[in-house]
Structure 1
Amino acid sequence: MEQPSIRVRTLSPIYIPIELKTGSNRSSKEYQEFRLQLQHAFPQNIVPSSLSQSAEYETIESDSWENQLFCWRSSDSANDITIHVFPNNIGIVAIDHKVVDNASSKAAAVEAQVQKEATEKITRVYAEFLQSLREVTHFSKTGYFKLGSDTLDPLNPEIFWISRTLLFDRKSLKAQHQPLIREWLEHTYRPQDAEDIINGTTDYSMTWLNYVVIDASGEQDERIDAMVLAQYYYSAQEHCNKQLKQAIDDAYNSTKNEAAQKLLSRSRVKSRLHQVDYHEHLKYLTRTKRRLLEEILLCWNYDQLTENGHRMIEVCSSKIDETENIKREKSALLTDLLLVALSFFTVFELSLYLTELSREMMSRPTLDFNDDTRSFMLQFIAEIDTDVMFGSGFFLTLLLVFIYKIIKSR
């Protein structure tokens, strides 16, 4: 006889090397056709989208737009694992576990077991997942997807954290489960949710890492879907913040200024676009899912995370402006030097020409036969020593530079 078990679903944000190219219009007809082609090309791995092809806001019973790129499943049926692939190099791994149900079940033991199993399963399929991403990227002839670093260790996935959800049916919820639920939610944002769940006044608690959901309706439960979205938006913002911090460190410490500037600009754009996507996506969610998503992110102090991102964006902008100002100052200095050089050679050439002309006129009187008398100015210049003439040209150049600096400073 099979032992009774408790269902636990883990949700784990991981780093993935694929991302949506900046500027791709996912609402376009071309992109929607590409998604269908992708599902047909990889039927064993790409899970068909649950999103209908109806017009926006046509129904209030379901979302009219989804932010994930696609869902991936292993071709090996033994690996019951789903990876929700999102933009910004983030994937959310959903895995269902079964834990032996007995009166002595402890929260810490359940946590340790499912986290260990989740890590092992993710590691087991990660190489296959990376290979699928390469194939999907090559299939994207229109260039919607971009594959990042190909140096990732297929045996060592980057798992940000593993959250755990206890799944109970109300009719199968027993008295022996009450201590587990209380212990499970003891250190969450709202530990009092345990009593509300036991009393039947609420059917979920989703605050921090340990969750409880009652009567989950398969894979399309709005509460679970909202948690997947919350995990994505939080981990993506955290990932953007890390990139911003790394870009700032490189900009202030690296000697490769051009590469650091590109990283600053790219990180700033990605962070801003992520916030735009978040607020845009909210309006396409059902009212229930939107409320759940905002409640979850409120418990996680998501606003503080985004505010910190905004502060780092300001630092990036300041550094970019500072670098641009330095470039402009260097350009202005180079322009000044060119002007000085041109003015010097111009004055030098003018002095040489006047000296040559004046002396030629003085030595050959027939050249000024149209004039009534000799030119006083040319006669005066002809009598000046050549070195004095050139020196006066040099001092005239300095005078022009001095006057230019005074005018520019004003």
Structure 2
Amino acid sequence: MAPLAISIRTISPIIVPLDLKTGTDRTSKAFELFEKNIHTAFDSALLGKTNQAQAGYKSIEQDSWQMRLFTWTDNIEAPTIKIHVFPNNIGIVEIDHTFEYTGDNKLIEQQAQDQAEQQIAAIYSTFIETINAICDPQYGNFLRTLNQHQDQAKIFWVSRTVILDSQDLAQPLCETLLTKWLAHTQRSQDAHDILTQQKDYSMTWLNYAIVDLKPNDDRLDSMILAQYYYSAQEQCNKLLKQAIDGAYNDAKNGQAQEKLSKTRVRTRMHQVDYNEHLNYLTRNKRNMLEDILGHWNYQQLTENGQRMIEICSSKIDETENIKRERSSLLTDLLLVALSFFTVFELSLYLTELSREMMSRPTLDFNDDGRSFMLQFIAEIDMDVMFGSGFFLTLLLVFIYKIIKSR
């Protein structure tokens, strides 16, 4: 039996050492100018424009807005690799492969994965050079790069999409290919539906199939978006775990709290962006995106992230409460010190005044007689006077504590 020539497009989320600064308004004129400038400056590496200024919901056949920042390619004329760069340090890599299929699905899967990893490694340094150049402040202060230097691409996973033409479905090997290809996905019956032309795609778990792929195909674009949102949420959850671990176990508590706060904001913004972006997608693409993420239990992933956000918030509140208690304690100590010196000064003044009055009777010649109170104070020993002031201070502190506790 003659082998079947098949095309496989791998889709691989990777870490990109670039992020959009928190709070950036991507609809602003300044950001639109930034996009225009980088596409002009890097026209040999960036595909198309991303979010050109236009009225919202202008067409029901096209998305009103895109989440990706830009798309990098190794060859603008005949691209073999595309990297869709998104916020949150995520890029989605598309690579086309061609194989001769003879019936061994595992071999094809392994070859596609190995080739994807090798090609990503081969172009990664060139890609990073472009990323670093785009972050130059001359184009706009919207992006930031990761502090750590990465020599190799960090790949989350490699998913594989078999791309078939309608006429391929009649070939004998095609049934074997699709049946084995989709056997361990969440809808293995999709193989039968595709062969009988009841469906033209299957996209549930790592191995996908698309029939008659078109340029800018909604099916593939939905999968790219789904992989971005899932991998970005997964990365947020990982950073939240690291932040929580640092907050509870790191001796440098100040840095841990700052990381905790930033990661919490980043995760919340990602969830906000997802819910907002759904409104700008075509109905068909939105339905496919939600269906794909539904198969991946994306809701559980976000709920787990939300639980970690609550842990972060609880830790931040706990830390703030400790800081407030320390501040309150410091205030109390300051008040005690001030009251002590105030009482001490009052004791000293009364002693000095009473003895002066007793030693110089002319000072009170307008009075009917000597002041009993001043005479009494003048006769008190100085050490006893100071001791009385000290005990009076303690009494005031004790009364303050009782009032505060109530």
Query: TM-score normalized by structure 1?
Result: 0.96
Deviations 1:123-173 (A, max 9, x none): 0000001110010001554211111125211xx210000000000011222
Query: Do 2:4 and 2:100's aligned partners in 1 also have CA atoms closer than 8 Å?
Result: yes
Say which of 198, 203, 212 aligns to 2:200: 203
Residue of structure 1 equivalent to 2:273:
277
Query: Do 2:50 and 2:66's aligned partners in 1 also have CA atoms closer than 8 Å?
Result: no
Residue of structure 1 equivalent to 2:85:
85
More deviation, 141-150/185-194: 141-150
Residue of structure 2 equivalent to 1:23:
23
The reply on whether 1:391 has 2:391 as its aligned counterpart is no
Say which of 138, 142, 145 aligns to 1:144: 142
Query: Do 2:44 and 2:75's aligned partners in 1 also have CA atoms closer than 8 Å?
Result: yes
Query: Do 1:8 and 1:164's aligned partners in 2 also have CA atoms closer than 8 Å?
Result: yes
Amino acid at match of 2:161: T
Query: Do 1:354 and 1:381's aligned partners in 2 also have CA atoms closer than 8 Å?
Result: yes
The reply on whether 1:178 has 2:179 as its aligned counterpart is no
Q: For residue 66 of structure 1, give the secondary structure of its aligned residue in structure 2.
A: coil
Query: Do 2:181 and 2:207's aligned partners in 1 also have CA atoms closer than 8 Å?
Result: yes
Alpha-carbon separation, structure 2, partners of 1:348 and 1:49: 77
The reply on whether 1:296 has 2:292 as its aligned counterpart is yes
Q: Which runs of 5+ in 2 are unaligned?
A: none
Alpha-carbon separation, structure 2, partners of 1:108 and 1:53: 46
Query: Do 1:25 and 1:31's aligned partners in 2 also have CA atoms closer than 8 Å?
Result: yes
CA pair 141-77 structure 1, distance change in 2 beyond 3 A = closer
Amino acid at match of 1:71: T
Alpha-carbon separation, structure 2, partners of 1:386 and 1:285: 86
Residue of structure 2 equivalent to 1:131:
129
Alpha-carbon separation, structure 2, partners of 1:171 and 1:325: 69
Q: Number of residue pairs matched? A: 404
Say which of 185, 190, 193 aligns to 1:193: 190
Amino acid at match of 1:133: I
Say which of 369, 372, 377 aligns to 1:376: 372
Alpha-carbon separation, structure 2, partners of 1:128 and 1:342: 66
Residue of structure 2 equivalent to 1:217:
214
Deviation at 1:13, TM superposition (A): 0.2
CA pair 233-140 structure 1, distance change in 2 beyond 3 A = farther
Query: Do 2:6 and 2:100's aligned partners in 1 also have CA atoms closer than 8 Å?
Result: yes
Say which of 326, 329, 349 aligns to 2:325: 329
Deviation at 1:30, TM superposition (A): 2.1
Say which of 233, 256, 262 aligns to 1:266: 262
Q: For residue 105 of structure 1, give the secondary structure of its aligned residue in structure 2.
A: coil
Residue of structure 1 equivalent to 2:98:
98
Deviations 1:81-111 (A, max 9, x none): 000000000000000110113xx32221111
Q: Percent identity?
A: 59
CA pair 11-264 structure 1, distance change in 2 beyond 3 A = same
The reply on whether 1:255 has 2:257 as its aligned counterpart is no
More deviation, 5-14/142-151: 142-151
Deviation at 1:252, TM superposition (A): 0.6
Alpha-carbon separation, structure 2, partners of 1:380 and 1:166: 105
Say which of 315, 318, 328 aligns to 1:319: 315
- Mapping of 1:7-22 within 5 angstroms? 7-22=7-22
Deviation at 1:77, TM superposition (A): 6.9
The reply on whether 1:242 has 2:241 as its aligned counterpart is no
Q: For residue 283 of structure 1, give the secondary structure of its aligned residue in structure 2.
A: helix
Deviation at 1:3, TM superposition (A): 7.7
Q: For residue 172 of structure 2, give the secondary structure of its aligned residue in structure 1.
A: coil
The reply on whether 1:44 has 2:41 as its aligned counterpart is no
Alpha-carbon separation, structure 2, partners of 1:3 and 1:33: 51
Alpha-carbon separation, structure 2, partners of 1:4 and 1:166: 12
Residue of structure 2 equivalent to 1:5:
5
Amino acid at match of 1:127: S
Deviation at 1:267, TM superposition (A): 0.3
CA pair 215-142 structure 1, distance change in 2 beyond 3 A = same
Deviation at 1:223, TM superposition (A): 0.3
Amino acid at match of 1:189: Q
Amino acid at match of 1:178: E
Query: Do 2:47 and 2:76's aligned partners in 1 also have CA atoms closer than 8 Å?
Result: no
